[in-house]
Structure 1
Amino acid sequence: MAIGTVRSNMLRTILTMLGVIIGVSSVITLVSIGKGSQEAIAKQFESLGTNLLVINLRGTGRATQLGYDELMQLEGTAGIKSIAPTMNKSGATVKYEKDSQTSYNVIGTNDRYLDMQQGSVESGRFLAEADLDFRNHVAVIGSDVAAEFFGSADPVGKEINISGFVYTVIGKLQSKGSNTNGTSMDETIFVPLDTLQRDFKLGTIRNAYVEAASSTDTARVQGVLEAYLYNKFKSDTGYSIFNSSQLLSSLESSSKTLTLQLVSVAAISLIVGGIGIMNIMLVTVTERTREIGIRKSIGAKRRHILLQFLVEATVISGMGGLLGLVLGIAFSLALPIISPGQNTSLSVSAGIYAFLFSLAVGVVFGIYPANKASRLKPIDALRTD
């Protein structure tokens, strides 16, 4: 009977379900986007491992500075496998022969950096310890930089000009994409740290990557670094140490919070849809007052009328929930194709909860119209035109 009533006026039924359809499909889509982002973040961190720590030095005075040798003397002690200090020259002007100049990020580091970042060389080699010792003017370029200046040709042995200084290309990296900090090795040029520091007068080291021997040593290494830096600076305000696992948890937590907020906004559509269902059911009660009177006059009890209208409201919201579920799944699967780079991951639990919530909306917002219908007196209902 409920399905027959719904089919008797399909246009009105579809318009009534629209809020529920939009709400459920929005919830499914937003949850799949949030879950896809979390999985992408986790995948990036898995590629780096959970035994990586990052030191940020914020001090400006001599008392809060660290030299390259001071950092490297910690390597091989207390579970520390390797250390890669870095210095950055952002927006450096780079050109090759008469080609138009382009701005790229230049990082000065040592030979340990590439292994820590899980990168690999496509041609040539990466920086060596001798390049730092002799302050060689050599550079390793990312795949996008190589494509910009050399196309498909091998860049090894060619010379590029970085803000007025000539560097010989000794290697080209394989394409890797963005790191967890949003930077891309593909669009970066790597040179010896001492060379970059001297050429561009960059001052002291600001960042350093520290790799623990294993994930179980990470906490101990972090404690050793904190103790060393505190003893060196006599304060804990000039530095910060980030554990990759802690950073992963923080990013995942932020992503979950944002997803929850977006889902909460989408849930408002379900509530609006419920109000629409209640409105239409009230209209239906008015239209079918004589029918209710006839049913009651031949023996229908209040609970029968109440159940009849509740079932109709639930069928409408349930059908809307199913359509929203299908549309949400379809859009989540199509989104990576429509917008390359956008990760999505369907959540079965989110689909179940969204559908159950749509049913609950039908019940909650159908109670008042159903109760109103069940309270009609047969004689008054029969008199209604």
Structure 2
Amino acid sequence: MNLRSLLIVLGVFGLIFLMFIFTIVSRYIIKLVSRFPTFNFVSLKLGLRSIERNHWTVATALLAIAIGLGSVGGVLTTGEGLKDFVADAFSSFADYDIQINGIPDSKISDMEERLLLMEEVKTVYKTTDEFSGFNLNIDKVNGKPISRYISDFTEEKRIKAEERCINVNLGGRNIEFNPLNPVTFKTVGGRLLGKEDIGKNNIIVSTQCVDTFGFGVGDTITFRYNDYYFDMKIVGVYAPSFQGGGPPSSNLGIITSIETQDRIRRSSSNKEFNILEVNGVKLSDYAKLLPEDQSKLIPILSKTSVNIVGLDVEVEYFGPYGSEEIIISKRLAESFRLKIGDSITLEENEYMKTFVIQDIREGPFNKESDIIIPYSALKGTFPDIYTYTLSVIAKEGQAPALSKKTKAMFSPEYYVFESSEVLSIVNRLIDQVVIPISLLASFSLFVAIIVISNTMYLSIIDRKREIGIMKAIGASNFTVLKNLAIENLAIGVVGGILSLVILYFAFFGLSLILQIEGTPISPLILGGIFFLSLVVSVIASIIPAYNTSKIRPLSVLRYE
């Protein structure tokens, strides 16, 4: 038997033991309830005395009610708690009502102005389309190569670190308009990112990252993005409020400002272009001028990857004053028989421009590209090189109207996304899990009805003489029904209270497992559980109570 099977067996025995303890405790609770003041209500006094007389049987009925209602309520409450938690967590990192995705750099300012003119809009702020992050590699830690840095780790930890230092995700955050929520991002060391970090090479990392690499506040991490390197300083360590990391995060929960993230992606990125002309000659005609073995390669090489460089990297290649020239690889130069000073016309999405070759170098560039182009040379002609997302916050109560107006203005050219759509999808997924489990748990309520009915029949057998005498001295059928109803309502009240206690502990346990903190139990669910306890008790007692009220006194006394 493996450890998991053993734990399951122990869990089952533990549950049986808890049910036994609950039954014992219920017995004493019943005795305590039976001593409550009756305020001279004869029916109440008779009902409580009957409960006390059949305390073991009633304790079993209470166990059935408490298990059934407690489990159903626990599942429903946890489902509602998950919905509330997801809504809070989502709002902590996505503080917007609507997002418009895929906006070209050339149109972003115009669209911001158009949105701000809408009366329903409160705030508009920009993020990159890489909002969730892009991948980097960890190259050095405090100037020490990562291979040397992790060489002193235990073998298990070193293997884990080697796997995780590749394709590390760097998330971006708009600190100015959407600051980090200290509830979702609990500071363990240092501080969270603030406005003073906008545009700077500062990052925060999760405790998961610290556990993997042993990083600390003040450490400097050198990342490699494509073929380029840059340093980032850790200013804080945070503990995510939910397993998996606080969004937007990464596999290691590394986050910087959106401005820094945008600067990094603008330093170097690859994009495919089509070569249309060489020295003013269409490519199909130019291929005829080449030897047959080279002309066969032209259709293959006509679609080429271009490394677009910007900011410091652009200055490094082309100088500080901008350039309309390009650098090509030796492979491309030899395939097309190109030399410095020749021209190439590039096309992307029906936009085209001619560039002059400034230099020929060993390639490929940035792993796969045969051409390096400065971003400044593309900016005016190719609008879709870099795209952005606009996040829009509506004025109170204006989100639905803003959504309709925004979709009418910008769809289908741009994708308009509502944050409520995410919550709606998540809520449906949670319901798809919670409802079937609740239905399965509700079968225990059927067991509770059977147990309570059995309790009633046993009680009637013991009280036949008492009921016969009551009817012989003038008690009506309604009086007998009333006494039995009060008795079962008392069982329902006690069962409902015990169900709420079990519900609280069940929810508390699941909250610890799922790390949901501070989510209140819905008063609607609490009231529903208590009311359902009364309903179950009444339904279970209807048939035996009705049959009992029809007992003929003479038949009972003759039997006695």
TM interval, short-chain normalised: 0.7 to 0.9
* Number of residue-to-residue matches in the alignment: 353
What's the TM-score, normalizing by structure 1? 0.74
Structure 1's 354 and 163: CA in aligned 2 closer, same or farther, altered over 3 A?
same
Q: Output the CA distance in 1 between the equivalents of 2:89 and 2:56.
A: 48
The answer on whether the counterparts of 1:278 and 1:369 sit within 8 Å (CA) in structure 2 is yes
| Offset at residue 213 of structure 1 (A) | 6.3
Q: Distance in 2 between matches of 1:70 and 1:107?
A: 27
Is the counterpart of residue 34 in structure 1 residue 70 in structure 2? no
Aligned to 2:413: 228
Q: CA shift at 1:369, angstroms? A: 0.3
Unmatched runs of 5 consecutive residues or more in structure 2: 1-45, 116-123, 151-160, 181-191, 271-365, 370-383
Higher strand fraction: Structure 1 or Structure 2? Answer: 2
The equivalent residue for 2:278 is none
Q: Any idea what SS the aligned residue of 1:345 has?
A: coil
Pair 1:305 & 2:480 matched? yes
Is the 1:54–1:209 Cα contact (8 Å) retained in structure 2?
Answer: yes
Q: What is the RMSD computed on CA atoms of the aligned residues? A: 4.0
Alignment of 1:163-178 (within 5 A): 166-170=229-233, 172=235, 175=238, 177=240
Note if contact 2:77-2:521 (Cα within 8 Å) is conserved in structure 1: yes
Displacement, 1:14? 0.8
Q: Contact conserved, 1:89 with 1:105, CA < 8 A, in 2?
A: no
Normalized per residue, which structure has more helix? 1
Q: What is the rounded CA distance, in whole Å, between the counterparts of 1:221 and 1:176 in structure 2?
A: 37
In the aligned structure 1, how far is the partner of 2:387 from the partner of 2:424? Answer: 21
- Farther off after superposition, 187-196 or 290-299: 187-196
Give structure 1 stretches of 5+ with no counterpart. 56-65, 129-137, 230-239
Which residue does 1:370 correspond to in 2? 545
1:86 match: secondary structure = coil
Secondary structure, in 3 states, of the residue corresponding to 2:130?
Answer: strand
CA distance in structure 2 between the aligned counterparts of 1:206 and 1:253, rounded to whole angstroms: 35
Aligned to 2:390: 210
Look up the match of 2:129: 85
Alignment partner, residue 501 of structure 2: 326
Structure 1 SS opposite 2:449: helix
- Equivalent positions of 1:1-385 (< 5 A) are 1-47=46-92, 48-53=94-99, 55=101, 69=105, 72=108, 75-79=111-115, 81-86=125-130, 94=138, 96=140, 97=145, 98=147, 99=150, 100-103=161-164, 106-107=168-169, 113-115=174-176, 117-119=178-180, 121=193, 125-127=197-199, 140=203, 142-144=205-207, 147=210, 148-149=212-213, 151-156=215-220, 158-161=221-224, 166-170=229-233, 172=235, 175=238, 177=240, 184=249, 187-188=253-254, 191=261, 192-195=264-267, 197-198=269-270, 199=366, 209-212=389-392, 214-215=394-395, 216=398, 218-219=402-403, 220-229=405-414, 240-252=415-427, 254-255=429-430, 259=434, 262-333=437-508, 335-337=510-512, 340-341=515-516, 344-384=519-559
- 1:37 alignment partner, SS class: helix
> How many Å separate the matches in 1 of 2:98 and 2:409?
14
Whichever of the two has the greater Rg, that structure is: 2
8 Å Cα contact 2:131-2:248 kept in structure 1: no
How far off is 1:92 after superposition? 6.1
- 8 Å CA contact 2:65–2:495 kept in 1: the answer is yes
Tell me the CA shift for residue 358 of structure 1: 1.0
Identical positions, percent = 19
1:101 maps to a residue whose letter is E
Q: Which moved more, 1:281-290 or 1:364-373?
A: 281-290
Cα separation, 1, equivalents of 2:437 and 2:386? 37
Q: How far does residue 273 in structure 1 lie from its aligned partner after superposition?
A: 0.9
